[in-house]
Amino acid sequence: MAKKLMKGNEAIGEAAIVAGAQAYFCYPITPQTEVAEYLAKRMPEVGGVFVQAESELAASQMIFGAAAAGARAFTTSSSPGISLMGEAMSYIAAAELPAVFINIIRCGPGLGGILPSQGDYLQATKGGGHGDYRFLVLAPSTVQETVDLTIEAFRLADKYRNPVLLIGDGLIGQMMEPVDFEGRGAPPTLDTSAWATTGCVGREPHIVKTLFLDPNELERRNRKMRDKYEQMKREEVRFEAYLCDDAPELLVAAYGTTARVVRTAIDRLREDGVKVGMFRPISVFPFPDEPVRQLAFQPSVRSVLVVEMSMGQMLEDVERALQGRRPIHFYGRGGGNVPAPEELVRECRRLLGNGQGGRP
């Protein structure tokens, strides 16, 4: 079907169906409830399972059951709901089950608000549930990219037999943009016959569990999972560099919706001959350490500005990657406020010493 104007949340629902999702377990929470409303209609049409659970916690555990039974399962939620899913995330990763989680982040902490935010970055990339596990985390910035990364998430979940998390924000969920599903199809079905609990006809029973009282056995599993994350670091880094190859003086690091505002600000600055470039990570775990180093350590780049809709979380990854070899500044908005281009133009000018502007 040709380009269609779709709301982000509904595009996510359709993308999951295109990706061959068989089961969706959900719970209403602003700003992503439209995914559930859309799939309540669509999943039955395609013979998929749709269950509105009693809580996000239960929804995420239903994913464990369905995924361990060999089904392609996923859920969507928003920040407070994702916190409730933390337990299941750890269990699903520990049991090496493929699953996709999508967090349409809202401002927090606590009940916070319902406006967009990027305040769950650390939860997504460093936190979530307990124990040694990681999520492969992707951060789209447009509705089209969200669709493509949703489909890609199912492929990656199968490839690594590990949960994959997409982090968007309220804007991406609520915004309508043209979307094209042309040429997008379901990743190949994962062969789960070696471990899925489908009934032990003609084979020894399968047991999907995460309790390993023998420390050596559990350590073996920890190491096996770490190897997966090392492989992700080698193979799944995704990023975009915008106007970075003409010796910019300042490098701005931003992802998701914020990156789109930064892009506008950079265009305006360049109209006045101020050369600024942008580094946009698409995978935030694995974080693109090497790419951001290459961009930031160009001789022309005097400093780096990290811009987030939070009080500074991806900032920590940029600082870690650059190891103090470039001054790093931060500009953040919270409470659901989305930075306006003018704010960023002013901030860039201030940092480059040819304009006013102060840290909000």
Rounded distance, CA 75 to CA 114, Å?
19
E-assigned strand segments in 31-98: 49-52, 73-77
Q: Which is nearer to other proteins, 222 or 337 (CB)?
A: 222
Rounded distance, CA 32 to CA 37, Å?
9
Q: Which is nearer to other proteins, 30 or 212 (CB)?
A: 212
- Smallest distance, Å, CB 4 to other proteins? 29
- Smallest distance, Å, CB 320 to other proteins? 32
Rounded distance, CA 58 to CA 30, Å?
18
- Smallest distance, Å, CB 146 to other proteins? 25
Helix, strand or coil, per DSSP, at residue 246:
coil
- Smallest distance, Å, CB 36 to other proteins? 16
- Smallest distance, Å, CB 56 to other proteins? 11
Find out whether 300 and 248 touch, Cβ atoms under 8 Å: yes
Rounded distance, CA 178 to CA 5, Å?
4
Return residues touching other proteins (CB under 8 A).
22-23, 25, 49, 51, 53-55, 57-59, 61-71, 73, 87-88, 91, 197-202, 205-211
- Smallest distance, Å, CB 260 to other proteins? 37
Q: Which is nearer to other proteins, 58 or 243 (CB)?
A: 58
Q: Which is nearer to other proteins, 204 or 271 (CB)?
A: 204
Task: Give the Å distances, CA to CA, from 258 to 12, 117, 344.
Answer: 20, 9, 10
Rounded distance, CA 337 to CA 115, Å?
7
Rounded distance, CA 339 to CA 309, Å?
8
Q: Which is nearer to other proteins, 85 or 151 (CB)?
A: 85
Residue 80: cis peptide before it, omega within 30 degrees of 0: no
Q: Which is nearer to other proteins, 96 or 343 (CB)?
A: 96
